[in-house]
A = this chain, B = another copy of it.
């Protein structure tokens, strides 16, 4: 089970009634946070999401509305007395930026690691670069004015364990867990038990794709293919804004719906609305004609995704 929440859904600047865009993915006691603009710690408090479990912070890009909340978040995590390490992943110059923050966040009770992605060389089909609990993370390059990455988060699902087969093979129960996780096992008498002999066929996990800020392009369709949840920016719904948005490397809500349909995603959440778009829900009917499972997210949008 994966709990996904958007504590904030705004772009560019935080508003009294709309926090800046941020997402949490929670699974098995581990939390991933994606983007951390000014006020993210408040948005998390509002949704009663504990900072204690945040072990991984993914940053899409280094514009202020996606990173200014990092010092406050790091202190919020510190206040929970977390002692496990925290990792931040993002494009350059994330390492220089985090180093600078030590001026105002000099002491943290946990180890802070920074993994700086290469600026423009991650192929679209790259493997996951990080695993936390049962969640894996793969970045993919977007098309924005500065290096910017989307992220695919997958909750792996182990194949079904064939207990009858394990019993037939006389495998003691204490080895079943390792075998289920795909590991082969040597028994106490030198028996060689292979996981493939007690596992069913591969089963799809849960796939969430987070995609902001970017102009629309075909690569996003590939990445969002059959995603259980595709979360995408939609600055405006007014078609007259299209050209101006593309120039600024953003997209319309309608573009996101077209991508979701082409990708055969199961669900689309729109986010990162412009402050000049105070009522994005007015476009919902039009958007659902393009892609029926479209949600114009509000702060606190939430879903529990389960294995099929």
Contacts and interface: CB of A to CB of B under 8 A. Distances in A.
A14 B67 contact: no
Interface in A1-48: 13-16, 38-39, 41-42, 45-46
Interface residues of A, number: 29
A72 interface: yes
A41 B79 CA distance: 24
A200 to B, nearest CB: 47
A67 B69 CA distance: 12
B71 A64 contact: yes
A104 interface: yes
Contacts of A39: 14, 38-39, 42
B72 A68 contact: yes
Contact of A15 (B45, B71, B100, B103): B45
A104 B16 contact: no
Interface in A54-90: 62-64, 67-69, 71-72, 75-76, 79
Contacts of A16: 42, 45-46
A105 interface: yes
Most central of A42, A46, A100 by chain B CB within 10 Å: A42
Interface string A91-135: 001001100110111000000000000000000000000000000
A13 B103 contact: no
Nearest to A76: B13
Contacts of A75: 13, 64
Given A16-B45, A96-B103, A103-B93, A38 B69 contact: yes
Contacts of A46: 16
A15 B72 CA distance: 12
A75 B37 CA distance: 13
A42 B75 CA distance: 20
A54 to B, nearest CB: 15
Contacts of A93: 103
Given A13-B72, A13-B76, A68-B71, A104 B42 contact: no
A14 B93 CA distance: 27
Contacts of A67: 104
A124 B38 CA distance: 36
A52 to B, nearest CB: 15
Nearest 9 A/B pairs, CB to CB: A100-B100, A64-B104, A38-B72, A97-B103, A16-B46, A14-B42, A64-B71, A68-B71, A39-B39
